[in-house]
Each structure stands twice: as C-alpha cells, then as structure tokens.
Structure 1
Amino acid sequence: MSVHHAVLEATGIEKAYAHGLWPARHRIPVLCGVDITLAPGEVVGIVGENGSGKSTLMKILVGLLTADAGTVTYTGRLGYCPQEPVVYERLTCDEHLELFGRAYAMTREAERRARREIYTALGFEHYAGTRADHLSGGTLAKLNLGLALLADPEVLLLDEPYAGFDFDTYLKFWDLVGERRQTGRAVLIISHFVTDEERFDRIVDLRDGRAVPR
C-alpha cells in the first residue's frame, strides 16, 4: 500500500517498561517494531492476548503515550474510544456530547445533529438527560463510543469497543462501522478476540511485540 494513500501510518513502534527495583531493575519490551497502516475506508482489527501490548499501542497511536522509537503520522481527525470510559460522573449524556462538541470546535448546529444521529444509531436517546454515574455499563459504553464518533473523524480508533454491548447493540455497532467504511472513513479495532472476521478488511495479530498479518 502506498503511504501517500494512508490516513494513518505507524512505523517501527517500540515500547518497553521498567520493572523491578535498583540494582536489579530492567526493561521489559512490549512493542518491538510494530508497523500499522490504515487506508481510507478500511476496517482493520488488531488481536492479541492480554498483556500483548494492544492498549499500549493504541495509546501511542492517539498520542497519550510516547513510544521509545518509531513514528506515527495521520491525516484528518482522530476519534478515540478507550477501553475504560473517560467521563464526568455528574454530567449527563447531553452535557458530555455538548462539551466534546465544543472541544472539537463544532458549531452548535453540527453538534446537535451529530448527537441526534448517535442517539438514534445506538438507541440510548432515553438517557440523554441521565447523569453518567446513573448509567448502566452498557449505556456507558454507548456514550463512550458516541463521544469518539461525534466529530465524524477520518480515523476511528477503538479499544475493546463492544465489551459492554448486548447483541442488539453489537449489530448496531457494525452497522455504524459499515457506514463509515462507505464514506471513506478508516476504523481500527483492538480486541482480545474476533468472532466475525468477515466484517474486517484485514486482521493483524499482535504477537511477541510485533504485528503479524493473518
């Protein structure tokens, strides 16, 4: 794939963590030269066991963590759905989406339109006025995904996005992914398991610190 057509490209990503106490302190490598490329309209899955470095890689891709080596480049906006929702307990779903809309510099009209579409697509409009600390785990997962989708990002990065979904929401999730693919948006999904391989354009295994295509 030509890098000129990539919306996200990570090259030679390395990361190690210090372990133990001095003088026996040593570094344990987690990522050992990972390469990932995403093209417009591509849905890619990264699969690995717990401890394989999936979330570390995701945090490096979105800029929350600095790699020891390697580069990450992307075009357009990134949307990030972390494994653990990052929300404000006292804010409602509406208030979260409005707050994130302002952070994305969206117009009020664009934010409201996107908000309505997200509520409808994921089916949690009844919780628009409910505070985050009163939401069930499944509805919190919907809000988490909705915040990542709000600004219609060119690249959507999802870390275990459907862990809290029931089957109906799981299917709605894939409808959303399909719509993004059709409009040329790229989606990267990190998970410890994949049951519907046919929904992905490519699946990459994170193994021994490297990305291995299936």
Structure 2
Amino acid sequence: MELTAVGKRYGRRERWILRGVDLAVGPGELVRIAGRNGSGKSTLLRLVAGIERPSTGRVARPGPAAYVPERFPPALPFDAASYLLRVGRVHGLSAERARRRAGELLDRFGVADRAGTPLSRLSKGTCQKVAVAQALLPEARVLLLDEAWTGLDPEARAVLDEAAAERAAAGGTVLFVDHDPARLAGLTSAAYRVGTDGVLRPVEDGVPEPAAGGPVMEVEVDVPDGAPLPTALPGAPEVTALAGTAVRLAVPAAHSDALLRRLLLGRPAVRVLAVRRREEGER
C-alpha cells in the first residue's frame, strides 16, 4: 500500500488537512498513526479506505480495504447477523462463508446471543463489536482501525488486539489510530504522527522496545531452506543461530504468544522445535 504526495482539503480556499504525505506500508506491517484531535488521522484512513479521494497525489492499495470508522451508524435497518452477511457478500464472500465468518466473530466478541437483534436496539458497546466484526469478516489485505477500541470492554479490546496482530501475521497491512499510547506495544512495525501542518512524519523511537527485565521466553524454530524470518516480529526478539537452519528467538514473555502466532501464520511457515522459559541469570 502506498501514498504518494497525497494532500487533502475540503475546498480550494480551505486549509490543507494533509499535505505531501508519502507513505509505503508492506504486507505484514502493523502501523500506528498518531496525532492531536483534528489533526487529520481519520482523514488519512478514509483516503486509504477509498471513502474519500485525495485533493492531490495518489493512493495505491493491493486490494479492497476493510475499515472500522470512528463512529458507526447503528440506525441501519438490519439485525447484526444480516448486516454482517451483507458486508461479506459485498466483499465477494459466498453466502455460506459470510454466515460462518459472521457467526465466528459474533461468538469471539461474546455477542452471538444478539445476532438477531436490530442494530438500532443494541447497546453502544455491542454496536462497536459489530462494527469491528464487519471489518474483520472479509480478511481484507488492508485493515484500517480508527479508534476501534473505543467503547469496547476490556475482554473485547484484548480480542481486537489479537485479531489485528493475526491479520498482520497472515500478511495483511494494518493501520490503526488509538488514544492509548500503549496499544499494541511491542507489535507495531512503525509509527507516524500527523502534525498540525498536515505533514506525516515518522515517530522517532515509535516502535516500543521490549521492557527491560522480567521473564524471557526462548522459542527455537527451524526455518525451511534457511529462508529469512518474517519481518517485524513481535517483541523485537534476540535471534541466535543454531545448528543447520534452526534459530533461537528470545523475547519478553508478554510477547511470546504473539510471536508464536506470527511465526506459525506468517511466511515462510516455520517449524517450532521448542519453547522454554529462560531462567534468571541465564544468557
């Protein structure tokens, strides 16, 4: 996905919301977009989604994007399940596949019992879960999350964290905006900030480093034919070459689950040989 010299303003005499934006994000990347309220973060995501057109420049995507808007319109004339079915069909899924994915996601977010409830009668939190589900449903190559965690309960926020990491691990491109600076810490591959001048700049030290101290997990894997490991691995693991095509990855324990998912779902697929906790004082 690539933005080249992108600018946006709403009227020839209006101020530039975005100007001169150059951004290239590859498959498997999970990227944070930061900035003050009103700085243009949501506008940037809408341009990537194709909802709005740039005033200048070009936006190129590898395929359709799935998007969770900052505000989801709950007054649509559907119940949760039929709405998700329609979204799936729009994205080209078969009716059977769309129904199955809808059921899986409603269950994953703990609202399967409200599948037949009209959207207008759902609570704000449940509506937000449906909004997230509709973006995850098609497994699009580009996933855009605009404050998607707002209004979710802690359990659902954790599910969305996991789902975003899974989408990137499967080769998707994920851009997200969130007010919590710790959101997906250790998993992001890059971070950018939209300035008050509308210019997008890399955030220095935007990818959080693994926390010092604490328990460490070691994951030994065999990489077929000595192929390179997937890029931007969660937790920025310390890599040690072993015999043959095997390597050992040492990562803070808090990132070990995400690392294993990325290794097992990413490309190239690797074979996990062993997982162990590094004892204190070991190197």
Residue identity opposite 1:169 in structure 2: A
* Alignment pair present for 1:158 and 2:145: yes
Cα distance in 2, alignment partners of residues 89 and 60 from structure 1: 24
- What's the offset of the Cα at 1:98? 1.4
Letter in 2 for 1:145: V
Query: In the alignment, which residue of structure 1 is the partner of 2:199?
Result: 210
**Cα distance between partner residues in 1 of 2:176 and 2:98:** 25
Q: Which has the larger radius of gyration?
A: 2
Structure 1 residue 10, shift from structure 2 partner: 0.8
Separation in structure 1 between the aligned mates of residue 91 and residue 47 of structure 2, nearest angstrom: 21
Change (3 A) 1:28 1:187: same
In structure 1, the gaps of 5 or more residues are: 1-7, 20-25
What residue identity is the alignment partner of 1:206?
Answer: V
Cα shift at 1:27: 2.3
> Would the aligned equivalents of 1:49 and 1:192 in 2 still touch at CA under 8 Å?
no
- Asked if the contact 1:141/1:165 (under 8 Å) is kept, the reply is yes
> Does the residue aligned with 2:78 lie in a helix, a strand or coil?
coil
Instruction: Mark the runs of 5 or more structure 2 residues left unpaired by the alignment.
Output: 204-283
Matched with 1:201 is 189
**1:103 matched to which residue of 2?**
90
TM-score (norm 2): 0.67
Residue in structure 2 matching 1:122, options 101, 104, 109? 109
Mapped contact 2:81–2:103 kept (Cα < 8 A): no
2:48–2:61 contact (8 Å) kept in structure 1: no
Higher relative contact order (CA 8 A, sep 6+): 1
**1:57-113 Cα distance to aligned partner (Å, 9 max, x none):** 122112222211110101123111111113443311011011112222311221122
Identity, in percent, stands at 32
TM-score computed with the length of structure 1 as normaliser: 0.87
User: Which structure shows the bigger proportion of residues in helix conformation?
Assistant: 1
CA contact (8 A) 2:29 2:173 kept: yes
2:159 corresponding residue in structure 1: 172
Tell me the C-alpha RMSD between the 2 structures.
1.7
Q: Does 1:15 align with 2:8?
A: yes
**Corresponding position of 2:31:** 44
| Partner Cα separation in structure 2 for residue 182 and residue 41 of structure 1 | 6
Tell me how far apart the structure 2 counterparts of residues 74 and 182 of structure 1 sit (CA, whole Å): 18
| Matched residue type, 1:203 | A
- 1:148-187: CA deviation from partner (whole Å, max 9, x where unpaired): 1111101101111111111111111111112112211111
Partners of 2:180 and 2:159 in 1: CA distance: 19
